[in-house]
Amino acid sequence: MVDNENKKIEKAINFYMLANDLKYIVDINESIADHIYGAMILATAINSEYSLTDDLPKVIRTILLSKIYDYNKAEMEEFLNRKYKYAYEVYDYYFEKTLEGHFAHECVMLENELAAFFYRFDNENFDISDYNRFYILANEQGVFDRIGKNEKNMEIFRFYYLNRVLKQKVRSGWDSTHWNISNDRIERISEHCVGTIALAIALKSEFDVDVDLDKVISTLCVHEVGEIKIGDITPFDNITPEQKQEIEHKAIIEVIGNLSNKDNIINSIFEFDKRETNEAKFAHYCDKLEADIQAKVYQDMGCHHPLTEQQNNVVFKCDKVQKMVENGANTPFDIWYEWDKPIYDESPVFTRVLKYIRDNNIKK
């Protein structure tokens, strides 16, 4: 029984790691995971304005699966041989047999055009209120010819433009005031979002989890949009959870703007924050576990500084963390593990996966 459980976890993590690998492959100044996120955001915004499909989660999933397949064909074949449904979705992306396959393909193509367009500008610290000027310029250069020119496209472009912030913001847990990761490529918020969706697909594929995966995917795609305005606030940044949620909810409403489907998008994120439904709890666990896995990936890659070099780390100065060290924590991931372990008390699946990543080298 234990061996069977471990085999399921191994398969889930192996699939997730195919997506994680895309965080380190850079194309047009962004990672492949960044491009996947951009295409997903375009799909969300375009469907909001044009209502092209009733199955947006399939489009989002197809974008992710097809790009993983592009870069990991041999490894993906084993997964697709077991999951025929997903094999058909990857096939559909390349041959565009259904509306969803065509839609996914068009979103990837438009993301590529927009990424190339923005590459011409130095936007490391671009003004997020400057979307109107860039929309006019993009239209003049024919970027939006793929979906036509009308007023709806302004909302699509605005939402996409604002979400470019998440392609540039490093996750706070890895920055110089937290764990100060040493690597040429440090995870962005956008890449984390892609990772959470891959993890949700992986765990739902291997375990009999009672959740609507489509709802989880739609929520995880947009669950960090508030951070466009407020940044990635951690529990160590002198802001209470209540204060964070208040300012983040206000930011979410501002970022969503006037998208036609704004109410559904906003409500899905607010439901995620309440963690009352099975889907919200599962999405929350995926959000947390993806960060735990990334911490272990960095440890397996040798990117963490030892605990003796954490003088400027606001996490390490916490009394709770110091107690962990006194009790035998030797590595940064030991602290991640002990800190997050209670989160999954109600979920045996996530508890077992966390233990598995602790006990195994997952960055092979």
Predicted confidence at residue 122, as pLDDT, reads 61
Structure tokens at 307: 């605990």
Percent of the residues in the chain that have a pLDDT greater than 90, as a whole number: 85
Q: Which residues contact 139 (CB under 8 A, 6 or more apart)?
A: 149, 153
Instruction: Write out the two tokens for 364.
Output: 């092979």
Residue 91 pairs with which residues in a beta bridge?
none
Per-residue model confidence as pLDDT tens digits over 247-265: 999 999 999 999 999 999 9
Provide mean pLDDT across the span 79-92.
92
Distance CA 90, CA 10 (A): 22
For residue 124, pLDDT beyond 70: no
| DSSP annotation of 207 | S
Degrees to nearest 5, angle at CA 147 with 144 and 149: 60
Model confidence at 125, pLDDT cuts 50, 70, 90, reads: low
What is the per-residue pLDDT for 96? 92
**Per-residue CA distances from 203 to 100, 108, 109, 272 (Å):** 23, 25, 29, 18
Of the two residues 67 and 149, the one the predictor is more confident about is: 67
Q: What angle do CA 129, 134, 138 make, to 5 degrees?
A: 155
Q: In whole angstroms, give the CA distance from residue 293 to residue 286.
A: 10
**Of the candidate ranges 80-89, 280-289, 343-352, the one whose mean pLDDT is the lowest:** 80-89
123 pLDDT higher than 60: no
pLDDT at res. 130: 85
The CB density around residue 25, as the number of other CB atoms within 10 Å, is 14
The neighbour count for residue 259, using CB atoms within 10 Å, is 21
Longest dimension (CA), the chain: 62
pLDDT at 10: 97
Q: Distance (Å, rounded) from C-alpha 305 to C-alpha 310?
A: 7
Average predicted confidence (pLDDT) for the chain = 94
Residue 92 has pLDDT above 80, yes or no: yes
Mean pLDDT, residues 111-124: 83
Confidence of residue 28 (pLDDT cuts 50, 70, 90): confident
Please write the tens of the pLDDT for every residue from 152-196.
899 999 999 999 999 999 999 999 999 999 999 999 999 999 999
pLDDT for 59:
98
Write the DSSP string, 285-334.
HHHHHHHHHHHHHHHHHT-SPPGGG-TT-TTTTSHHHHHHHHTT--SHHH
The whole-number pLDDT of residue 203 equals 98
Its pTM stands at 0.97
